[in-house]
Amino acid sequence: MDRITNMVAERPVVIFSKSSCCMCHTIKTLFSEFGVNPSVHELDEIPKGKEIEQALSRLGCKPSVPAVFIGGDFVGGTNEVMSLHLNRTLIPMLRNAGALWV
């Protein structure tokens, strides 16, 4: 858990992902199109990725990826991020976290 806390503190937006996950790709593309430069951790490519994935599951990430953190807070996965986007609350959240300046 401490490792996740440290990783989440790296940037305003942190995404835990897997390189082969199509939903992860969708979320990364969405943030990229907003001009956000998140810290992306590909759990299938980093050391101890499996341990991090298990810790994310214990935090309530179901499925474990994508797991999106904004401003250090766990936002959720694809469904939650897309709901925030459709409700027009994602952009203000990104601005408040310092991920967007416009």
pLDDT tens profile 33-42:
999 999 999 9
Q: Where are the alpha helices (H) located in 1-102, listed in sequence order?
A: 2-8, 22-34, 49-58, 78-86, 90-97
Q: Over the stretch 52-98, which tens digit does the pLDDT of each residue have?
A: 999 999 888 888 899 999 999 999 999 999 999 999 999 999 999 99
pLDDT at 1: 67
Torsion of CA 69, 3, 9, 26, to 10 degrees: -30
pTM of the entire predicted model: 0.94
Those residues with Cβ within 8 angstroms of residue 44's Cβ, 6 or more apart along the chain or in another chain: 18, 19, 20
Q: What is the mean pLDDT of residues 39-55?
A: 95
Measured between alpha carbons, how far is residue 14 from residues 23, 59, 67 in Å?
15, 15, 8
